Structure 1
Amino acid sequence: MSFLTDDKLVIIGAGGMIGSNMAQTAAMMRLTPNICLYDPYLPGLEGVAEEIRHCGFQGLNMTFTDNFEEALKGAKYIVSSGGAPRKDGMTREDLLKGNSEIAADLGEHIKRLCPDVKHVVIIFNPADITGLVTMLHAGIDPRRVTTLAALDSTRLQSELAKHFGVAQSEVTGARTFGGHGEQMAVFASNAKVAGKPLKDYMGTDKLTKEQWEEIRTKTTKGGANIIKLRGRSSFQSPAYCSIEMIAAAMGGAEFPWPAGTFVNNDKFQNIMMAMDTKIGKDGIVTYNMPEGTPEEMAELEASYKHLVDLRNQVIEMGVIPAVEDWGTINKHFAK
């Protein structure tokens, strides 16, 4: 059985629940034999590595280390869940300062140890901001960094499928864009249920206004609901989706969901946010602007403004320089 590539894939935070699930998923998907697991907590990390060995994956040469430099040296692909997790009652934004500082440190290590990295996936919250901070400090092409935003869309798809009593795969075109947070923009205008446009159901007894609002709320608060149900933040879904993302960059199947990507156009400037993306097999991300109703586009604008506020807070903290000075730490922004 062959692998997609022999390039080194590093999973950061591999001793945790998300990271350990990422490690197993990457091995099961046979992305590369060269997987390195990193976590500062060595006993837990070694336990994960032992369990992966006990799976008996053929041809796998998995290594593990609590030495950050050893882990990142020569890495071509990186997936990081290495931030503080969200707890009950917390929003993603509550993690802003601490996790932004972690992201800055990760970026500096990438710049020094693996500047030719092909793709980086950041999933620790608030992911739009931590991804932006990582990319800037790493000094790499902004198109080589994505953040996890797919969960918002898969949660919308899931809620619609449960409501209509159909298989989840029969709900298509359900998407959220903008920020990965409760201020996300929920797009329903292009969604279909078993081939029929969702808009045809709206305002009828099959999907009343109140029912739609409940679905929207369950979507935007899906992560918080997992915490209440399981007593901890999501780990299976972010692990799987993030490995699907890195797999696309490594030459695997196309990633079918929105991803957070760097955006700088005439409408949204210098921000990381979920768009209609394509993660290329060369590790480069391209995107299209979402198309929706005036109400949906207004939501997207509001989500963007929320992200700009978070970005500016990080600038005020001194974690990243002012936008006009980004070229001082990343040559891709040099004027």
Structure 2
Amino acid sequence: MAFLTNEKLVIVGAGGMIGSNMVQSVLMLGLTPNICLYDIYEPGVHGVYDEMCHCAFPGANISYTVDPKEAFTGAKYIISSGGAPRKEGMTREDLLKGNCQIAADFGENIKKYCPDVKHVVVIFNPADVTALTALIHSGLKPNQLTSLAALDSTRLQQQLAQEFGVQQDKVTNAYTYGGHGEQMAVFASKALIDGKPLSELPLSDERWAEIKHMTTQGGSNIIKLRGRSSFQSPAYQAVKMIEGAMGGEPFKWPAGCYVNAFGFKNVMMAMPTVIDKDGVHFTEPEGTAEEMAALQASYEHLQKMRDEIISLGIIPAVEDWAKDNANL
């Protein structure tokens, strides 16, 4: 089997449902044969390792460990789902303190064991601030670390496709930016439904409000339907992000990236992005006055969350970030 690269990929949290799906997706897509499964829970990660071996992927060189030094040493790519999952009734923000401490430890492991890693994807919630925390502690350049944000846009795409009875990929130019949470900003003024502008199709203000609500609550709805948080969709999108960083098909859905431009400062937030072998590149969103106002509100919410983890001592004050990461 031909692989995109032979470089080492570490899946953090590999014993969980997201992690195990990521391992399988990486091998099915032929990204790299060299995958290290890392988790603090030995029976879980051991079981995933055995199952992947039972798949008998040709050329696969899979290992597993509960030792961070063994896992991170020599890693060129990392995807981390190693936080606590969201449960019914919880918002992403409810996970803030515990998962940001996990993210801080994750960043320190990168700095200590694999400072020459090429790209890192953080997908555990609240992803905007866990990724920011990891970036500060890792010492990496901002273009080397991204967070998962695409699901908000794919959920919007799904809702519009169902509303107008078209195949999902026939909905284009419909995205969400800003925070990966209930404060996301929905941009659909340029959306096309099977080539037709959304603005020219019959859609009442009331129905549009419902679509936006269903988009922002897409993750919560999965929990209600399945009794657990999403795992297949975040796993697949995260793997597609790392595929772009490996030099494969560029990833063009929004991704969370470190932004210090366009009037936004010192936050991780979803922007129009491309992830390729040179890392993540982003541009400024373009939208109506209403959409830009929603983005500003989302940014301000992210600032508050950032300031909260500063107050908890998990990350230093903004003016001291360069002491931990000279690239900031």
Q: Where does residue 289 of structure 1 map in the other structure? A: 284
| 1:307 has 2:302 as partner | yes
User: Aligned runs of 1:1-335 on 2, under 5 Å?
Assistant: 1-201=1-201, 206-282=202-278, 284-333=279-328
The whole-number CA distance in structure 1 between the counterparts of 2:229 and 2:5 is 32
The whole-number CA distance in structure 1 between the counterparts of 2:271 and 2:213 is 21
Secondary structure at the counterpart of residue 261 of structure 2: coil
The whole-number CA distance in structure 1 between the counterparts of 2:280 and 2:275 is 5
For 1:210, the aligned partner's letter is: E
TM-score by length of 1: 0.97
Secondary structure at the counterpart of residue 256 of structure 2: strand
Displacement, 1:266? 4.2
For 1:138, the aligned partner's letter is: S
The whole-number CA distance in structure 1 between the counterparts of 2:42 and 2:29 is 25
Q: Deviations over 1:33-78 (max 9, x none)?
A: 1100011111111111111111111101011111111101111100
Q: Deviations over 1:179-233 (max 9, x none)?
A: 00000000011110010011112xxxx3111111110000000000000000100
Secondary structure at the counterpart of residue 264 of structure 1: strand
My pick for the range that moved more, 103-112 or 40-49, is 40-49
Contact 2:252 2:275 (8 Å CA) reproduced:
no
Contact 2:262 2:284 (8 Å CA) reproduced:
no
Contact 2:161 2:167 (8 Å CA) reproduced:
yes
The whole-number CA distance in structure 1 between the counterparts of 2:262 and 2:273 is 18
Aligned-pair identity in percent equals 63
Contact 2:248 2:276 (8 Å CA) reproduced:
no
The whole-number CA distance in structure 1 between the counterparts of 2:116 and 2:306 is 26
For 2:258, the aligned partner's letter is: F
Secondary structure at the counterpart of residue 327 of structure 2: helix
The whole-number CA distance in structure 2 between the counterparts of 1:293 and 1:232 is 36
Gaps of 5+ in 2: none
Secondary structure at the counterpart of residue 116 of structure 1: coil
Secondary structure at the counterpart of residue 61 of structure 2: coil
The whole-number CA distance in structure 2 between the counterparts of 1:327 and 1:41 is 34
Q: Deviations over 1:78-132 (max 9, x none)?
A: 0000000000000000000000000000000100000011000000000000000
Displacement, 1:242? 0.3
Superposition CA RMSD, Å: 0.7
Gaps of 5+ in 1: none
Secondary structure at the counterpart of residue 332 of structure 1: coil
The whole-number CA distance in structure 2 between the counterparts of 1:75 and 1:299 is 38
The whole-number CA distance in structure 1 between the counterparts of 2:4 and 2:59 is 13
Secondary structure at the counterpart of residue 320 of structure 1: coil
Displacement, 1:256? 2.5
Secondary structure at the counterpart of residue 271 of structure 2: strand
Contact 2:251 2:276 (8 Å CA) reproduced:
no
Displacement, 1:273? 0.2
TM-score by length of 2: 0.99
The whole-number CA distance in structure 1 between the counterparts of 2:284 and 2:100 is 27
Contact 2:75 2:117 (8 Å CA) reproduced:
yes
